[in-house]
Amino acid sequence: MRVIRVIAATTFREALRDRILYLFLGFAIALLASSKLFGILTVGDQAKIIKDMGLAGIQLFSMLIAVMMSVLLISREIDSRTVYYILAKPVRRWQFLLGKYAGLLAVVAVNLALMTAALLLFVWVYGGGVDARLLLATAMIGVEMAVLVAFATLFSVVTKPILGSVFTLAVFVVGHVSEDLWLLTRHLPGSVGRALATGLYYVVPNLERFNFKTEAVHQLAIPAAAVGWALLYGLGFTALALVLACLRFARRDLQ
Amino acid sequence: MTEVELRVHELRKTFHPGLLEPSVEVLKGLSLEVARGEIFGFLGPNGAGKTTTIKAIVGLVIPDAGEITIAGHPHDSLEAKRRIGFMAENPYLYTHLSGREYLRFSAELLGIPPPEVADRIAAVLAQVTMTASADRKMRTYSKGMLQRIALAQALLGEPELLILDEPMSGLDPIGRRDVRDLILGQQERGTTVFFSSHIIPDVETICDRVATVIDGAVRGVGAVRDLLAREVERYELTFTGADPARLATPLVASRVGSDAAWARVEAGHRDALIRELADAGARLVSLVPVRSTLEDLVVAQVEGRSGS
């Protein structure tokens, strides 16, 4: 654990040095601007609109951090060969990878916490009620990001940084249309297309399982079982992606 | 019996760059043994397989076949890695950190007990003469300074086996002297040093033994003096009372000076020349064997002229 913690802490510091937390400022400004704009354009409950926009913004900005930083920070370590001096020490390759993952997750979590705090402040200012569902919805975005960062970690050890970012982005997009993909498998005429859509459905995690935004905005009931299954589902895909990443990295030549 | 610190046996590695590019067989059954406490030089031209061998030893490259042990432990085990200090050919460091911060990070990875970390860092910084610049960000360092910090991180764990890939490259003469002194100092405290270098005079000066690697395999290994002793190819003679131009023995080169004449002959013609000089009534002033340098040896091996 010591080695993982040390690598995670260094990764976290490196992300801060890259001014990644500025993305949080971007989020706050975007939220402020959109709340003003929608306040003028709509006659409905402004706090609800802010919640809706805020949660979507949190998801978007978290995804941007996960996609950009994960692939960048791990690939940079390999490409710039700073990994040489780490792996020549009594450090297992899987410890290095899990350390990077933990550090990146910490970066995403801190950003998520800051953005959530900003959202709560905005909701409070505009007279909306702040309840646990809003916190749960953002926490589940965190779980979604844990899955996404795990996939980014996998892609960063099997391909080049740009392709890794594209693949991670593809997981995010396909993961959110996963249920449509399942419907598509029933209506596609060709067997090849159907096999492809079915394959994608099973390989790419269904990220909509972590989506509790509607319930949070409209204050609907959230079944505990749905949250529990989503957590298990997220844990399963995260573990799978990380195990595959570790297995691949264990056999990779560092030249 | 001499204890073996590093054993590399029948190491093989082929790289497969891509579908459209041909595979490259870099290591072709490379074997060597380094005794505990010795300074072992690893020589060879570019592309011979030196860096790949070193990367395989420290676990950065996965060999296709062969065995590597460090003090009897498999090279990729934590027991083996705890015994290694490694410095790569180029200093791959986090340049956004200061030298001291980077060494602290290295100390944490090495598992050095926290109360000892500050003293240990101060000691290695002093060894590489970087104490004064230790708190500057490394992006402001020169290449030589980065090389010194890279060396400091290799020394930090007080390794049994120091593995250095081209430690003198990019250093000025003072830096090279410092690294030479440091390697000798490490040997005095019992550390085994295994290093590759293109700078052959440095290898000749400080190595107990050397191995020459050509085309992925070791071509020659032994004490520097033994390797060179085998390579006495010519003799230089100084004499008076005879004109080199009139001698029948084939000469490689000759010159007539104000006091004496000088001639160089192949080793096989040495005795014939001495006899001819005696018959001509000349007086032999000196006879000096011309030993080849390590550089000559490596060049000869590369060109296939010698293979011990």
Mean pLDDT of the region A85-107? 94
In this predicted structure, what is the pLDDT of residue A226? Answer: 92
First vs last C-alpha separation in chain B: 24
Q: Is B234 helix (H, G, I), strand (E, B) or coil?
A: strand
Q: Is the pLDDT of residue A80 over 90?
A: no
- Helix ranges, chain A (H): 2-17, 22-41, 46-79, 83-87, 93-125, 132-158, 161-176, 178-187, 191-203, 213-217, 224-250
- Where is pLDDT greater, at A162 or B30? B30
Q: pLDDT per residue over A120-136, tens digit each?
A: 888 888 777 778 899 99
Q: pLDDT per residue over A57-76, tens digit each?
A: 889 888 988 888 877 778 88
Indicate if the alpha-carbon torsion angle B180, B186, B187, B193 is positive or negative. Answer: negative
Q: Is the pLDDT of residue B172 over 90?
A: no
In this predicted structure, what is the pLDDT of residue B308? Answer: 41
Q: Is the pLDDT of residue B226 over 80?
A: no
Asked if residues B265 and B249 have their Cβ atoms less than 8 Å apart, the reply is: yes
Q: How far apart are CA A125 and CA B225, in angstroms?
A: 84
User: B177-183: long-range contacts at Cβ-Cβ below 8 A with a sequence spacing of 24 or more?
Assistant: B178/B128, B178/B129, B179/B151, B180/B205, B180/B206, B182/B127, B182/B128, B182/B151, B183/B39
In this predicted structure, what is the pLDDT of residue A22? Answer: 74
Among the partner-chain residues B62, B94, B108, the one whose CB lies closest to the CB of A82 is B94
Cα–Cα distances in Å, from B201 out to B43, B275, B305? 11, 36, 21
Q: pLDDT per residue over A217-226, tens digit each?
A: 888 888 999 9
Judged by CB atoms closer than 8 Å, whether chains meet at B60 and A87 is answered as yes
Q: Which of A89, A92, A160 to mutate to test the interface with B (most CBs of B within 10 A)?
A: A89
In this predicted structure, what is the pLDDT of residue A5? Answer: 95
Mean pLDDT of the region B63-86? 94
Q: Is the pLDDT of residue B99 over 80?
A: yes
Q: Which amino acid is at A165?
A: S
Q: How confident is the model at residue B307 (pLDDT cuts 50, 70, 90)?
A: very low
In this predicted structure, what is the pLDDT of residue B304? Answer: 67
Q: How confident is the model at residue B228 (pLDDT cuts 50, 70, 90)?
A: low
Look up residue A126 and give its DSSP letter: T
Q: How confident is the model at residue B231 (pLDDT cuts 50, 70, 90)?
A: low
A6: chain B residues, CB-CB within 8 Å: 105, 108-109
From A15, which residue of chain B is nearest by alpha-carbon distance?
B96
Q: How far away is chain A from the Cα of B61, in angstroms, using its nearest Cα?
A: 5
Q: Which of A85, A94, A160 to mutate to test the interface with B (most CBs of B within 10 A)?
A: A85
Q: Which of B11, B109, B151 to mutate to test the interface with A (most CBs of A within 10 A)?
A: B109
